[in-house]
Structure 1
Amino acid sequence: MNDHKAFIEYLQIEKNASPYTVEYYQQDLKEFFSFLHQEGIQSLGDVDQQCVRLFLTTLYDHQLSRRSVSRKISSLRTFFRFLEREKLVETNPFMLVTLPKSPKPIPGFLYMEELEKLFEVNNVNDPLGQRNQALLETLYGTGMRVSECQNLKLRDVDFTIGTMLVRGKGNKERYVPFGSFAEKSLKTYIHDGRDQLLEKTGIHTDVIFLNSRGNPLTTRGIRTILKTMMEKAALTVNVHPHKLRHTFATHMLNEGADLRTVQELLGHENLSSTQIYTHVTKDHLRNIYLNSHPRAKSRD
């Protein structure tokens, strides 16, 4: 069963899958091949509906979440679709597998009062404080993913028109605007604090966000910085990069932005990915209704 190597190349070259996605596919395939070995199935062409049902049973016996099971089934469905295309199997036994849809969790977000506390904790006269402020303003001001922020280069930021070139999943590019707060903090950091951090290393880099040693920040480093800011602000909620992305989308919708616009800004391929943010705006919509509709509430 060495066909998975060709499949991984297909993911990397044709599908432009991220390293994280490829890693998940490899984990799922390894687990499935282990199952086939235990069942004495030596050929992928021998995998049938009964085999798939037995595999599903083993996944549930391991008490995996519905989300984890769905991901594994999706990975294997894609794998067998590739095998079909390459005429290595006749049918895709995972095509007919259906799992009950589980309710999507409502994404957490920060209220403006909580955000204001975060914006006040950094010492903007210090190189790391300038970096942290610029990092916070960029994540909240654009809604980009942490990996996109980590890879942001100096040449990607155009201050003349206030936009950033963001490289998202599958190397897809999109332009995202940013406002005056992000502009101010970025300019301060780039022309002051960043230069001081660069002096600590002889290596030149175009990456915007650097660590205390002058090297490019990692995604883990960005999460650690946000956690430190959260502790300084004495917030009781957990703050991580994706929560800032959720907050960006929620606040945009609350202030009247349409779904299509938010979809484009977030870099979502499907509108359904953006629609999860409409759930967290229902209270806002109800308040507007109660305060605006002539017969929404009693006048006595």
Structure 2
Amino acid sequence: MLLSAAIEAFVSHLTGVRRLSSATARAYRADLRDLCEAVGDTPVAEVDVEDLREWLWRAATRGDARSTLARRTSSARGLFRWLLDEGRIPVDPTARLVTPKKGRPLPRVAPADGLAAVLDDAAARAAAGGPLALRDHAMLELLYGSGIRVAELCGLDRGDIDAGRRTARVTGKGDKDRVVPYGAPAQRALDAYLVRARPALAARRADASGALFLGSRGGRLGARAVYDVVSRAIGPLVGSAAVGPHALRHSAATHLLDGGADLRAVQELLGHASLGTTQIYTHVSSERLAAAYRLAHPRA
């Protein structure tokens, strides 16, 4: 079921079964349509807590009142709990959702020079280490170099990489495929991993997966393992042990905008259905905007 259809069915349930007033139902519909616009009309089972957090962050950064954020959180909880009860989704993504406080910080972004040092350190460990160090270096370079989601990274097969063009074909939300570019450092790390590490990992399992990234036992690498690698690598850089692969995605998008990339190009790279979701990164690119103002405005 697509999100837009779920919203209309839920609002009908509110008025027809729970007998809520038309005014209350309209408020629910307005909040949830805003959610749909932010995350796209995607299957309800694919909406996760990160989507919901980014939706609320966006509202917080444009100055929505705490009461508005609380109402929107309540609307989302109502929808997804109803979908869970109806058997439309396997888990409720709002279970770990907390209403953002007014002025809540924007998504954590690692500084570009700090990330460069982290990646240099990962390269040094890969040069002197075993298969897992080579894999982790390639993983970090590709996550930051392309801005892909952790699920997209874990879903990559060997044939999805085009080394000549330095592109990866990923399957995003709604089973939508897109081709994303990545840089020469990521290609060098991938080459080293594919030649010196992946064969050794694949040999650990008789029916080795065709996945690009393999776990220590030779099977397809899982998201939890990627979280652990990223947390160890960049947690100290952003001041949080709980940081995950999404921080590299946030950082890639912000650094692209800092470098002058077009917002719609970043939207396409990240696979966002709505430009509004991508716009959150403009709020963490104030340095670029301030510099442009100082250069261009006659009264700066």
Please give the per-residue CA displacement for 1:111-165, whole angstroms capped at 9, x wherever unaligned: 0122023213331132111101100011000101111111111011111212111
CA distance in 1, matches of 2:247, 2:195: 28
The runs of 5 or more residues in structure 2 that have no matched partner are: 29-68, 85-101
1:104–1:276 Cα contact (<8 Å) kept? no
Partner of residue 108, structure 2: 108
Partner of residue 216, structure 1: 220
In structure 2, relative to structure 1, the CA distance for the partners of 1:230 and 1:274 (3 Å cut) is closer
SS at match of 2:168: strand
- For residues 233-272 of structure 1, what are the structure 2 equivalents within 5 Å? 234-235=236-237, 237-238=239-240, 239-272=243-276
CA distance in 2, matches of 1:294, 1:65: 42
1:159–1:183 Cα contact (<8 Å) kept? yes
Q: CA deviation at 1:291?
A: 4.7
Partner of residue 40, structure 1: none
Among candidates 149, 159, 163, match of residue 159 of structure 1: 163
The letter for the 1-side match of 2:280 is I
Please give the per-residue CA displacement for 1:63-94, whole angstroms capped at 9, x wherever unaligned: x9555313124448989xxxxxxxxxxxxxxx
2:208–2:219 Cα contact (<8 Å) kept? no
Q: CA deviation at 1:46?
A: 3.1
Please give the per-residue CA displacement for 1:215-236, whole angstroms capped at 9, x wherever unaligned: 21111110011122236xx535
Q: Runs (4+) of structure 1 moved beyond 6 Å?
A: 76-79
CA distance in 2, matches of 1:67, 1:134: 39
The runs of 5 or more residues in structure 1 that have no matched partner are: 1-10, 18-24, 30-35, 37-42, 57-63, 80-101
Among candidates 58, 62, 73, match of residue 68 of structure 1: 73
> Max radius of gyration: which structure?
1
Q: How many residues are matched?
A: 229
Q: CA deviation at 1:179?
A: 1.1
2:154–2:213 Cα contact (<8 Å) kept? yes
Q: CA deviation at 1:194?
A: 0.9
2:145–2:252 Cα contact (<8 Å) kept? yes
CA distance in 2, matches of 1:52, 1:121: 57
1:173 and 2:177 matched: yes
Report sequence identity in percent. Answer: 36
CA distance in 2, matches of 1:53, 1:67: 12
1:46 and 2:17 matched: yes
The letter for the 2-side match of 1:49 is L
CA distance in 1, matches of 2:159, 2:205: 21
Partner of residue 187, structure 1: 191
2:15–2:21 Cα contact (<8 Å) kept? no
Q: CA deviation at 1:173?
A: 0.6
TM-score normalised by structure 1 residue count:
0.67
CA distance in 2, matches of 1:111, 1:236: 8
CA distance in 2, matches of 1:236, 1:112: 11
The letter for the 2-side match of 1:211 is G
CA distance in 1, matches of 2:78, 2:22: 13
Q: CA deviation at 1:295?
A: 4.3
Please give the per-residue CA displacement for 1:21-50, whole angstroms capped at 9, x wherever unaligned: xxxx9xxx9xxxxxx9xxxxxx98432224
1:137 and 2:108 matched: no
Partner of residue 92, structure 1: none
In structure 2, relative to structure 1, the CA distance for the partners of 1:285 and 1:153 (3 Å cut) is same
